[in-house]
Structure 1
């Protein structure tokens, strides 16, 4: 683990930076003296005070617009000359049973959470590869650990993000560029209050009522500041992990899900192994 030396400030590009975790990440970076490009679909003047001066560049950006993403990265490079840390934090949450989703609603979830992050990665990578350094941080979710009732499409978007990111991490490693997927638990942001809802089907009324009962029992979320402190520790590391869990609940859940999957795989081992027996390619002899 290392801490940047005095005067060795870095430049961050953070999406979804006007509120919630994204804003906490931006403030934490600015408070340590770094430069920040804070991008968001709705960026307001009051989202940041004026004390950061020319170390802060705010941009209005819809990450689903690929051309706009490339233009925003170009503006960041023109302003600061380099990027060191890229945080793909922009995201939305759609809640509903899988059967309830319209095609438009399902595609919208993927457009932001998967393709938005992909466009940012494509835009920044030429700059990071040229410098043979940099760290991309993908803000994933507890929903990437498993699917849960009413979060199917949100989980699908985060599963897809992690599948893409795991491959990307291996593709960019030879260029000295690092990638980490961060899987946060609950934080006091507006993710839940701003999420969209499907039109409910009567057939799922009892399941929805049970979910509401469970949610009413409450989960205690944490301050975004704690996630920001963890992120600073992450980007200061000389050997950052491919994945980082944030929070005791998500940590315990990750191990619980992994153990249950391993028990199932072991129980079906005989069937799995019996399904493989190498033979020559069809049409060949010998």
Structure 2
């Protein structure tokens, strides 16, 4: 890819998406910034000759195709896709309604699939590109009160790890980004955070306490999204970008602990795990 690339960023009207778009523009790249409301994109990023603000509901496959075509019509290509848009359905599994669970998957999982499906033909034609998908620490480490959210992010991780093999022959890179707690609008009630619809007495006390705890963390997160935006611009410029980028010291510690736990669990039952082969001695 050249030093000036075309970035296509979803969820670019607020939160992390604004900082990623700002960093890409500052580095001299062209940016296609998408959100449901283009006026909010323009309000957040301003007017810029290298900026194209587009309305996009990522849960609408046809809208993704239309947005991808508009990007190509304006800039001629798409070099970097950042799947950033998403939301957070919080709660204990039994208190999250079936409809909420499905909405969580529709936005956080099927949304990025829609956008990527629309843009990959462009990248394949170019024989170059980079798909960056923002998952979460909850995409590699299960967490309390995150049953729906973690499920959607774990699904993204599996898809991205497998997508790599599909697109590498066409010169297309993939990178999973796992942010920890960054000071974005993810925990803003009604903006990105949605609380459980159902109520079960056994969970009531814990649910009340956990919601209060989550609300208290809003605005107190330690991660700086501007620094993450700059880091992604640097990663996209690498000759061999990483398959996974763990973003934040809190996630680094968590992933290290998870890796050790996995190895410990393998070792704990290695002998039993290794006895599953069909016995062919009597064949």
Instruction: Map 1:154-193; keep pairs closer than 5 Å.
Output: 154-193=149-188
Instruction: Map 1:130-169; keep pairs closer than 5 Å.
Output: 130-169=125-164
Q: Once structures 1 and 2 are overlaid, which stretch shifts more, 208-217 or 87-96?
A: 208-217
| CA displacement 1:93-146 (0-9 Å, x = unmatched) | 100111112221111001111111111111111110111111110011010122
Q: 1:213 to 1:23 in 2, by over 3 A?
A: closer
TM-score by length of 2: 0.91
Structure 2 partner of 1:128: 123
Quote the Cα distance in structure 2 between the aligned partners of 1:27 and 1:156. 30
Instruction: Map 1:56-205; keep pairs closer than 5 Å.
Output: 56-193=51-188, 194=191, 195-199=193-197, 200-205=199-204
Structure 1 partner of 2:230: 229
Q: 1:230 to 1:73 in 2, by over 3 A?
A: same
Quote the Cα distance in structure 2 between the aligned partners of 1:213 and 1:75. 43
Structure 2 partner of 1:46: 43
Unaligned runs of 5+ in 2: none
Aligned-CA RMSD value: 2.0
Structure 2 partner of 1:25: 20
Quote the Cα distance in structure 2 between the aligned partners of 1:41 and 1:137. 20
Quote the Cα distance in structure 1 between the aligned partners of 2:227 and 2:17. 12
Tell me if the contact between 2:10 and 2:33 (Cα under 8 Å) persists in the aligned partners: yes
Structure 2 partner of 1:249: 250
Aligned length: 275
Q: 1:212 to 1:100 in 2, by over 3 A?
A: closer
